[in-house]
Structure formats: structure tokens, C-alpha cells
Amino acid sequence: MAHPAIGQGPFFGRPGLRVSELVGLRREQVDLKQGLLHVRRHKNGLPSTHPLRGPERRALHKVLRDYLDTAYVFVTERHAPMTAAAFRKLIARAGDAARLGMPIHPHMLRHATGFKLANDGQDTRAIQLYLGHRNIQHTVLYTQLSADRFTQFWKD
């Protein structure tokens, strides 16, 4: 059975979390009153604090209310922390069910966050901090492929 918050709202893509960061997310990192998510980055990434919007807050509120006896946000039916492998399988099954015609993996959500922010014209340094990249070269990938990158350079 899937976790109750899986697929509810935009939570999994927006923060640009790595799988290990998502499954390692602890209750104390979620501040629903102030609407903040305190991200502890892995792979030597920079920690950050992200805003939580309405749909995310509602989904997390439900999860935190329904699973009071665990320190982790995302758990199995037995209330043990969800593993990265289990989450990868869950996303792969969702991709198969959606019949997208290609294998789906969770890191695609992280990349989608980077591309979305770049295509919206967000500053590359801000994207770097948002995703927790120490090296700007890991972030530049998203801006290089932005189709609208130069459209606002000249106004006739």
C-alpha cells in the first residue's frame, strides 16, 4: 500500500529533495505553523529552508496527524522509516501506471524542480541554494536548456 501522502499535491517535486533526503525527513524538520521545511541536504549539499504552500501543508498535516508515533515523516505500514529503495519502487510503479512510455525515477522530480525554476527565470544562484548545490556547475545544467532564456534581453 502506498503512503497516504504519496501523490497528494506537489510536495515531492517542489522542494527538489533527493530520495535520501525525502525518506530521511524527520518530524522536527517540518514547521506547519510557520509553513517551513528545514532541509538537511545529503551529498555534502547546503542546508536550506523552504516555504510550504497550502497543498503541501495540508498533505503533511494529514501525515503527521495520522502517524503520531514515529520520528520520520514518511513511513511504511509498519511505521518504520521508508527506505530509498521502497520509494524508488513506488515512483516506478506510479510511472508504469501512468503509461508514460519511459521508466520513471524519483530524481526526475528533482530535475523537474531545477528546470521549472530556470524556465520561470529564477536566478541561477538562487536555484543553486534552493537545491543545495555547493558547485554552481551542477545548477547551470538547468539554465542552459531553458528555451526562453534570452527572450527578455531586448525589448523593441
| Residues that are catalytic | 18, 43, 107, 110, 133, 142
Helices then strands, counting H and E runs in the chain, come out as: 6, 3
CA distance 65 to 106: 25
How many other CB atoms sit within 10 Å of the CB of residue 104?
A: 17
Cell numbers of 79, please? 511505521
Q: In the chain, at which residue ranges do the beta strands (DSSP E only) sit? A: 30-31, 36-39, 48-51
- The answer to whether the CB of 117 falls within 8 A of the CB of 145 is no
What are the residues whose beta carbons fall under 8 Å from the beta carbon of 11, sequence distance 6 or more?
A: 5, 55, 56, 59, 60
- Strands of the sheet with 36-39, listed across from one edge: 30-31, 36-39, 48-51
